Structure 1
Amino acid sequence: MNRWFVRGFLLVATAALVPGHALAQDTNVDKAREALAKKEGDEDSSKQLEEVFQAAEKNYSLQKKGTHALTYSFDYTYTGDQRLDLAITNGSVRNIDVVPSATHEFTNAFSYDYGLLDNLTLGARLPLVVKYDTEDELNVYDVGDISFTGRWQPFPYVPGKMSTTLFGTLSTKTGVSPYEIDIKEQLSTGSGYYSLGGGVSVSKVLDPVVVFGSVSATYNMPATGLQQVRGARLLEEVDPGVALSGSAGFAYSLSYDVSLSISSQFSYSDQTILTFSNGDKAVAQDQMTGFLSLSLGTRVSDTTIVNTSLGIGLTEDAPDFSLGVSFPINFSGLKE
């Protein structure tokens, strides 16, 4: 609902409800007409909603050519589960081990985006990870996996029409690898392998709602040349396979300055094969994970929108829950 409509509505409501305003009815009607006329500088509500939505959903926004954006985000994730360690030799299963886990992970991340063209944005993300395992009383403070992204919008955005964005990602293995540590004494901050992915996202403004969705595929490159001791065996290679993911949801404009976003994400991960120096193989079966996210975008100034989020795991393999907050960092040197 636009501000010029609200002003007119309040004037008309006042004239109807307050005694003594009957003689001034013509004057109030004139004032209402004047208020209902869109003023210079009034912004369209769909544009306001799109700005708030774009701040929360990076896949659906692009930087203008030559412009920069730097964003800080903080996320807390809790995961508690029990994992099975299986070894398969000549078709038989042995060395079954049940490993309990309760992990608290805090991630401070800086994301940088640069508009190479009006319809092409390049970006990078640097995560700094703090992780605690309360079961084994372990902790780690280190850099996570640095990632690079590219987002391309093949068709110009047209108000009222669906917007399509193609994206690609490259995730490095700069974090502490889970396959190069003493698993009884250390924790990891990264995946341990390179990943290359791509997909497509779509969104459409249906004032005061934005609906959106995306699908993507990721190829996880095998990690070779490992020398990790696991019990009486030596791990040499890990093949994590491929992953598929999808998401869908909507963002609703509660006001000019507040927007609520609700989305669900589902992903499928192929089985992971661990190869040991004696020829043994350990296989982690494929997994399906689901996650529900709720995000609140709040405009605190003309240039700053703060997003707070809550995530809830929907499947056994997903994190139990997560909390997050993100906001832009404005530097004069990063302005166009």
Structure 2
Amino acid sequence: MSRCPLQPPRQLLSLTLLLVLCTAWPTRAAGADDGAREQRLQALQEQINAERRQLNDMRATLAERQQHLDQLQRALDDEILAGATGRGPALTAYAPQQSAAPAEQAAPAVATAGMQADPPQPVGQAPESDTRPPEVAQIFDQPGVLTPARRFVLEPSLQYGYYGNNRVALVGYTVIPAILIGLIDVRQVKINTTTATLTARYGINNRMEIEGKVPYVYVHSDTVSREIFTGSAQDNVFNARGKGLGDIEATFRYQLNQGGLDKPFYIGWLRYKSRSGRGPFEVITDCVTRCVANATGTGLPLDMPTGSGFEAIQPGVTWLFPSDPVVFFGTVSYLHNIERTNVTRRVLGGEEEFIGDISGGDVLGLNLGLGLALNEKAAISIGYDHNVIDRIKHNGEDVPGSVRLNLGTLLLGGTYRFNDHVSLNVAIGAGLTEDTPDLSLTTRVPITF
């Protein structure tokens, strides 16, 4: 048998195959190492991203808990302040109500190398912080504390005022000092005013409220005089009465900031006063024609007015500064009486007499006071109220005899809270200037619904 010379020997084939395998093996091994490295890098990047997301979630949860803690601290401060000023239990519930937080809001567990964080606890619902100013015994017309959100307050009140004044008019001339040749008009005026008012307030939210006020007025006036040009040696008494609806008012109030202990509260307000009451130009005057030097009548109204006769706009700012154990408070305001044109008045006999344009004097008001709690139900306040009334203008000119008036009143008041819905407030005022009412006594009974 002959052997083919072109067939390679078996040893040569084995050697060639071995050489090929040895050449390809490093390349395959390098490719496998690169794939494993990429998988490890990708796994590490995913772990970093997961850790970063968990860290961001923990920061958000920490911020929520810090906000919750701040609200609890403010609520605690307000509750301490409420007890210091005699307000008693606040109307806002301070106790937090626990509620299960959604799963996506729960703090995620942090899985780090070899460590497992404690499972997070559900975050309770933060209580609504009471940012209202502390209540004090009301002695001024404008209250210092706002009505709580979605609460309605009905406040009936009764006010009594007494005003007495003596006026002496000298008509003549003097020859030597202390000797007068002529006539003397001595007149005593005593006015008693009783006003029953129904006030309604509604809290739109904890920092905003609206108020409406409807008064009913009864006025009684006694004038004792020995008039000039009559030659009478006897005193004449002139009586006049008036009763009816007074000037209806509407007020809007808004708390400008969030105060607290040793931090002032500022409340801005705007008041509108109508002239729904019977004004001084609508009552009949004891004059046959225009009164000139009292020659044709007393010049006094036969009926007393129940309103001012002018519409008015009054902006103002009330502030309260709690400083344990007292609360300081006050108000600055400016009342503008809207000018009336083509005014007429009625004289004796029913005739109307044309007067012209009348502008009532504007009023600049300022009051200061402090309140002190005696216990959880009783509190007292003391304060001073001052008003400067400008001169009245007739057809753009100052009315002859009209002067700028200063009204100063010292007030003392107290409040007793029967329960969370009903309280009693009493305030008494004493006039310190000649033009101020000598006595004012006000009783209020605010009822909260």
TM-score, normalised to structure 1, is: 0.75
Shift of 1:82: 4.3
Shift of 1:188: 0.4
8 Å CA contact 2:86–2:379 kept in 1: the answer is: no
Aligned counterparts, 1:103-118, within 5 A? 103-118=191-206
SS class of match (2:342): coil
Distance in 2 between residues matched to 1:66 and 1:59, nearest whole Å: 18
Give, as a single letter, the amino acid of the residue that structure 2 aligns with 1:65: A
Q: Secondary structure at the match of 1:60?
A: coil
Q: Residues of 1 paired with 2:242 and 2:303: CA distance?
A: 7
Paired residue secondary structure (1:246): strand
Deviation larger for 99-108 or 52-61: 52-61
Quick one: distance in 1 between partners of 2:157 and 2:145? Answer: 17
What residue is the counterpart of 2:371 in the other structure?
Answer: 251
Partner of 1:134: 222
* 2:136 match: secondary structure: helix
Instruction: Structure 2 unaligned segments of length 5 or more: list them.
Output: 1-78, 88-132, 170-183, 224-237, 286-300
Distance 1:193 1:44, change over 3 A: closer
Q: How far apart in 1 are the matches of 2:162 and 2:359?
A: 26
Q: State which of 425, 429, 434 in structure 2 corresponds to 1:307.
A: 425
- Larger displacement relative to structure 2 (222-231 or 246-255): 222-231
Partner of residue 136, structure 2: 53
Task: Decide whether the 8 Å contact of 2:356 with 2:395 is kept in 1.
Answer: yes
User: Quick check: 2:137–2:413 contact (8 Å CA) kept in 1?
Assistant: no
Superposition pairs for residues 277-288 of structure 1, below 5 Å?
Answer: 281-288=399-406
Which residue in 1 is equivalent to 2:329? 212
Question: Any idea what the Cα deviations from partners look like across 1:297-324, whole Å, max 9, x if unmatched?
Answer: 1122332220111100010111011111
Q: Which secondary structure state, in structure 1, belongs to the residue aligned with residue 416 of structure 2?
A: strand
Higher strand share: 1
| 1:45 alignment partner, SS class | helix
How far, CA to CA, are the matches of 1:110 and 1:84 in structure 2?
A: 39
| Residue in structure 2 matched with residue 201 of structure 1 by the alignment | 318
Q: Distance in 2 between matches of 1:98 and 1:114?
A: 50
Q: Which residue of 1 aligns with 2:382?
A: 262
Indicate yes or no: 2:327 matched with 1:327: no
2:180 maps to what in 1?
none
Match of 1:67, as an amino acid? R
Residues 19-39 of structure 1: CA distance to partner in whole angstroms, max 9, x if unpaired? xxxxxxxxxxxxxxxxxxxxx
The residue number in structure 1 matching 2:127 is none
Structure 1 counterpart of 2:149, one-letter code: K
Is this contact kept in 1: 2:138–2:381, CA < 8 A? Answer: no
Task: Please give the secondary structure, in 2, of the residue aligned with 1:69.
Answer: strand
| Distance in 1 separating the partners of 2:437 and 2:137 | 25
2:357 is equivalent to residue 237 of structure 1: yes
Taking the aligned partners of 2:268 and 2:80, their CA distance within structure 1 comes to: 32
Q: How does 1:26-45 map to 2 (within 5 A)?
A: 45=83
Q: How does 1:145-160 map to 2 (within 5 A)?
A: 145-160=247-262
**Structure 2 contact 217–246 (Cα < 8 Å) conserved:** yes
On the 8 A contact 1:227/1:236 being kept in 2, the answer is yes
Partner of 2:413: 295
On the 8 A contact 2:423/2:447 being kept in 1, the answer is no
Q: Which is greater in Rg?
A: 2
Larger deviation, residues 172-181 vs 153-162? 153-162
- Do the aligned partners of residues 269 and 237 (structure 1) sit closer, same or farther apart at CA in structure 2, a change above 3 Å counting? same
Identity of aligned residues (%): 24
SS of 2:259's equivalent in the other structure is: coil
Shift of 1:73: 0.8
User: What's the counterpart of residue 267 of structure 2?
Assistant: 165
* Residue 147 to residue 83, structure 1, CA distance change in 2 (3 Å): farther
Offset of 1:235 from its aligned partner?
2.4
- Give the counterpart letter for 1:126 in structure 2: V
Distance 1:270 1:123, change over 3 A: same
Are 2:300 and 1:182 equivalent residues in the alignment?
no
The structure, 1 or 2, with the larger RCO (C-alpha pairs under 8 Å, 6+ apart) is 1
The 8 Å contact of residues 271 and 283 in structure 1, kept in 2 or not, is answered as no
Gap runs ≥5 in structure 1: 1-40, 86-95
Give the equivalent residue in structure 2 for 1:13: none
Q: Deviations over 1:215-265 (max 9, x none)?
A: 111111112222115699642332113210100010111222211100101
**TM-score normalised by length of structure 2:** 0.57
**More displaced stretch, 301-310 vs 318-327:** 301-310
CA-based RMSD of the aligned residues comes to 3.0
Checking the alignment, whether the CA contact within 8 Å between 1:221 and 1:241 is kept in structure 2 is: no
Amino acid at match of 1:298: Y
Q: 1-side partners of 2:82 and 2:359: how far apart?
A: 51
| CA distance in structure 2 between the partners assigned to 1:190 and 1:311 by the alignment | 21
Larger mean Cα displacement after TM superposition, 141-150 or 111-120: 111-120
Number of aligned positions between the proteins: 280
Match of 2:121 in 1: none
Query: How far apart, CA to CA, are the structure 2 residues paired with 1:284 and 1:42?
Result: 51
Question: Which letter maps to 1:53?
Answer: V
